[in-house]
Amino acid sequence: MPGSTTAAGSTLAISAGTPSAQTAAAFAALAFTVIGGLDKIGPVPSATFAKVEFQPLLGGKDKLKGSADYGSMAPSAAYDDSDAGQTLLRTAAADETQKLYAFKTTYPNGTVVYAQGRVFSAPDTIEGADSVLMTNADIGITTKPIKA
């Protein structure tokens, strides 16, 4: 299929900086640190709207768009405490303030999605002896994603 691609080569990067505006240019001006060792990024930030239904007396059911939810990301990575991006991710998870961190998801074709959010957890997971020690994060996206 023309235009299709695998996920190989995708990256997720994090920044402790704050964009001056919610624009692609403002996000692009930030310095992002790639999170190394990822095997999965999960859902890329996008808007999901609450569905508000209204059934008029006359006619079919109307469905209206309610409040927006920009979703969550669930990246998983092979634990590496020497990786700067993973360390910043863990720092963001341990952050007890409401500070927003910026995230940049890059597709293999160069498409970029920017958004801000908070890292709610990044626990390490130890499974069986023949498995890799993993870090799995839960990132709540709070700003409208910007695709560039």
Partner 1 sequence: MKTMIATRDFKDAGTGRAFAAGHPIEDVSAAILGNYEAAGLASADGDTADAGAATDAEAAAATVDTPTPAKRKAAPRRRKAAAAS
Nearer to partner 1 by Cβ, of 11 and 76: the residue is 11
Asked if residue 135 binds partner 1 (CB under 8 A), the reply is no
Q: Torsions phi, psi of 88, nearest 5?
A: -70, -35
Six token digits for residue 65: 């768009």
Position 32 contacts partner 1 (CB under 8 A): yes
Binder among 10, 24, 28, 37 for partner 1 (CB under 8 A): 37
Give 42: exposed, middle or buried? Use CB within 10 Å, 0-12, 13-18, 19+.
middle
- For position 119 contacting partner 1 by CB under 8 A, the verdict is no
Under a CB-based contact definition with an 8 Å cutoff, are residues 115 and 82 in contact? no
Length of the chain in terms of residues written: 148
Q: With CB under 8 A, what is the number of residues at the site for partner 1?
A: 21
Of the chain, the end-to-end C-alpha distance in Å amounts to 23
Residues 53 to 92: which contact partner 1 by CB under 8 A? Answer: 82-85, 87-88, 91
Q: Give phi and psi for 93, each to the nearest 5.
A: -70, -35
> 11 vs 143, which CB is nearer to partner 1?
11
Nearer Cβ to partner 1 (78/148)? 78
22 scored as a contact of partner 1 (CB under 8 A) = no
